[in-house]
Amino acid sequence: MVPAERGATRIADRVVAKIASRAALEALGATAPAEDHAPPRASVVVHDGSARVRVLVELDYPADIGARCRAVRERIAQRVGELTGMEVPEVLITVERLHSAHTGRLSGVRVR
């Protein structure tokens, strides 16, 4: 049977979101979330072979937030592309919380 006659493989949005969450965790240098950090949470919209990703992360502070977000963005695009074959034209990152080594959690801080 010719490949075109066999059908197509569809990867569920929630599977792509799990890949993106794991990739964000890897980019942050962890294999599991820190004890006081929530794991990255991703949501994905897949359309015509491309995935648009939104991810919420918690970061340590002080740190170069821009560099950390760039690393997360690049890792998500790379891993989603490798594992699904999809294009990733957009990765939107929301920093949900900052964790200060000096004062503990900084609530309500939002950086885009």
17-26: average pLDDT = 97
Domains of the chain: 3-106 (3.30.70.1350)
Q: What is the pLDDT of residue 108?
A: 54
Q: What dihedral angle (degrees, nearest 10) is formed by the CA atoms of 23, 24, 28, 32? A: -70
Give the predicted TM-score (pTM) of the model: 0.82
Q: What is the pLDDT of residue 28?
A: 92
Confidence of residue 3 (pLDDT cuts 50, 70, 90): low
pLDDT in tens, 33-86: 777 888 999 999 999 899 999 999 999 989 899 999 999 999 999 999 999 999
Angle between helices 65-84 and 13-27 (to 10 degrees): 140
pLDDT in tens, 92-112: 999 999 988 776 555 555 555
List, in order, residues 6 or more apart from 108 with CB less than 8 Å away: none
